Each structure stands twice: as C-alpha cells, then as structure tokens.
Structure 1
Amino acid sequence: MVYKSIMTQDDLDFDKLHIWHPYTSTTRPLPVYPVASAHGCELHLASGDVLVDGMSSWWATIHGYNHPRLNAAMKTQIDRMSHVMFGGITHQPAVDVCRRLVAMTPDALECVFLADTGSVSVEVAMKMALQYWHAKGEPRQRFLTFRNGYHGDTFGAMSVCDPDNSMHSLWKGYLPEKPVCPRAAKPFRRRVGRGGHGGFCASDGSAPP
C-alpha cells in the first residue's frame, strides 16, 4: 500500500464514520486535524497551518518529531526486524539500551523490565509490588493513591488515578477502590538555582539556591 501525503475529503469522511479516536464520542466525534508532517514540536497540517504540540504526543515525544538521530536508528532497525516478542528471546538493541540504563541507575536498581506504554509500566509496577509482598509471605495487597493523580488509561492504572476529579470518574464503582490521600498542601515553588533541578534533587533540598 502506498500512503498519500495529502488527505482528501473522502479520507476525512471515512475517518469520521469508521475510526474511533481516543476521548471522543462515536456519535458526536470531535473534529480532527489532518497532519501532513511533523518536525521538532510542530505539527504541519495539510492545510498549511502549523500547530505546536504542547502535549508532546501524550508525553512520549520528548526529543521532538523527525529527530535525525532517532530517524536513522529506526531506519537501520527496520531493515533487520520490526519487532519480536521478548518472552524467551532477546536481541542486541535491547541489551544495549538496558546496559545504558543500568549504568545510570543506583546499584540497587540493576534489573530492567521493558514496557511499551506508560499505562503498561504502571500495571507492571503494581504487579511487581504485589508479587514482592507475596514472595515475602506478607498479605499486603492494597495500594495508596493521591488526589489529582493520573497514571494511565488501562484498567489497573485507572484504579490508582483520582477517583473523583480525573477523567476516569465515570468508572467509579467498576474499578477496585483504593485509599486516597490528599495532594500535597503546599506546591513546590522554590528556585532551584544554577545547578538546575538535577543538582537540587541530588542535594538534601536545604541548601540555598
């Protein structure tokens, strides 16, 4: 299949009738904006208009769109294999990225589990916590969450979001209920100084900026 760079009105009509976009109604869908290309933080529309993607593609495009180094890595990888399951199988790119991650983390954090989305990573973390306490023979099975928290859209991740003030409030009564703490009473507004946030976090937080 050859993909067109410019969407036609027929394409948009098909989209409206047959494609269910996230967070929208199937009977009264929100308008969608046809993107022709993307670069940096900008989405270039088929109309010629440019949008700034302030959400960074749901927080996943931290280096921006069309980054030359990432593009080159993806093009090299796709010629070898697009994807293989990770159960009982490994490959060099996985070893390379995990080796770098282990080198960055403290000694106690030396094992990497790879997940493909933020919601899945929350689900995995919850399962790890349950498995840890089960292995220790302690029946600790409840999770504590915070007001105004958002952790993803899969079922387990939704259960640790704010049950009343989040986009998942309509699911209340269906999700497992968790004890909820109030959010921090005082927001962090302190200047972090020349060392930046990294330097501040590496200190005890009491040194003057």
Structure 2
Amino acid sequence: MSSLTPIDHQFDKEHIWHPYTSMTQALPAYGVVSASGCELTLEDGSKLVDGTSSWWACVHGYSHPDILEAMQKQLSTLSHVMFGGITHHSAIEVSKKLLAMTSDNLTKVFLADSGSIAVEVAMKMALQYWQGRNAPRKQGILTVKQGYHGDTFAAMSVCDPEGGMHTMFGEAVTKQLFAPAPKTPFGEALQEGDLEAMEALLETHHETTAAV
C-alpha cells in the first residue's frame, strides 16, 4: 500500500527537524499514509497502534465519523476566525458544555489551542490578578515535583526541576517553588501528611506566591 504521492524521505531527512529528535543523528521517521481508530497505516501497508493518541490530541481515534461530519460542516461554514472582539455559535456552545462540567463558582471560559498555552494563560492570569490587587510581589508559582505541564517557557518552569528534560535551559527558566509529590498512588484519596510540605512552603512564601 502506498499514498497517492510518495513520501519524500530524503527531503524530510535533510530539511525537517522533528520534535525531540537530534538534528545530526535523527531517529527514523515512519511514513504514514492514513489512520483509522487507534491505528496508523504506513506506506508499506503495515499498521502501528498510536499509543500516544497523537500526543493526547486525538483521544477519540482517527476518522471518527461523528467528528469528521462535524469538522466538514464547520469547515464549510466558518473554518477559523480570530476571537478578539468576535464570537460565534460554536464557541458559545462548547463553552456552555465546559461550564456544565465544572463547579458553580467557575463561570468563565478562556479557549486556548494547546495544553502548554493553557498553562501559560493560567499563570499569566494569576500574575495579572495580583497586579490588579496592587500586590506585584506575588509572581511565584507553587507546585509539586514529578510533574509535566508542557514545553513553552512558563510551562517548563513548573515541570519537574530535577528529572525533567527542561533542566538544560538552566537560568533561562523562571525558578518556582516545588513541594515533594504526594506519595499516595494516583487515583487514591490523599493521605494525612501528603500536603504538609506544600502547606509549609505556602505559609513561608505566601507573600510572593501568585498561585498553586
């Protein structure tokens, strides 16, 4: 099986720099020609299971008929428009659904186009809030170790500061406050003492901490 237009692997190798890949000793890039469900079909006809859901962006699988129908309908009506000073029906409807999932005291929706940007926006909102409250010293973020929140600079600053892949950026990344990660396994209720270190850090640094 092959795609309609053969994949130019030589051009790819010489000119395209793939994420998390060396420029000089790049890993092989597999040529994908189609996708369905959780499977990617390669140009030689073999199939791969996409265990990362296209980096968490395709959680319902490829070629889902309901999603394809909705995308085609939206593309033929309004493919994209800037959101500054403009609104539209689809944005309002998805925001209504998001609000219905959250607690009653969360009443605002800010739409972002990736996980990293969502983290960046949340951090900027926290800092801007304290600026508006005339507390400009509150610019730090308190978080826990062993976390991953994205690859943009603000998001990198709250990723794990020791074992994370962002340590190479050194002083260019803003220093934040880190508490030990809770020892309770994920999905279980936190145990007594899990948050003691975080509480102590917040008590000591609350005057300069903008958000947790």
Shorter-normalised TM range: 0.7 to 0.9
Partners of 1:130 and 1:96 in 2: how far apart?
A: 29
Partner of 2:194: none
* 3-state SS of 2:48 partner: strand
Q: Does 1:158 align with 2:149?
A: no
Q: Which of structure 1's runs of 4+ aligned residues deviate more than 4 A?
A: none
Q: Does 1:24 align with 2:38?
A: no
1:147 shift after superposition: 1.4
Q: Does 1:127 align with 2:124?
A: yes
Partner of 2:40: 43
* 3-state SS of 1:124 partner: helix
Q: Does 1:59 align with 2:56?
A: yes
Partners of 2:116 and 2:94 in 1: how far apart?
A: 21
Return the letter of the residue paired with 1:15. D
Question: Aligned-pair RMSD on alpha carbons?
Answer: 1.8
Q: Does 1:97 align with 2:102?
A: no
* 3-state SS of 1:144 partner: strand
Partners of 2:186 and 2:86 in 1: how far apart?
A: 44
Partners of 1:15 and 1:66 in 2: how far apart?
A: 25
* 3-state SS of 1:173 partner: helix
Q: How does 1:46-195 map to 2 (within 5 A)?
A: 46-138=43-135, 139-188=137-186
Partners of 1:87 and 1:55 in 2: how far apart?
A: 33
* 3-state SS of 2:96 partner: helix
Give the structure-2-normalised TM-score: 0.82
Alpha-carbon distance change, 190 to 152 in structure 1, aligned in 2, over 3 angstroms: closer
Q: How many percent identity over aligned positions?
A: 55
More off after superposition, 120-129 vs 28-37:
28-37
Partners of 2:93 and 2:186 in 1: how far apart?
A: 36
* 3-state SS of 2:128 partner: helix
- Which structure 1 residue ranges, 5 or more long, are not aligned? 192-209
Count residues in correspondence. Answer: 187
Report if aligned partners of 1:7, 1:34 keep a CA contact under 8 Å in 2: no
Give the structure-1-normalised TM-score: 0.84
Which structure is richer in relative contact order (CA contacts within 8 A, separation 6 or more)?
2
1:55 shift after superposition: 0.9
1:9-31 deviation line (CA, Å, top 9, x unaligned)? 6x011111111111111221111
Return the letter of the residue paired with 1:169. T
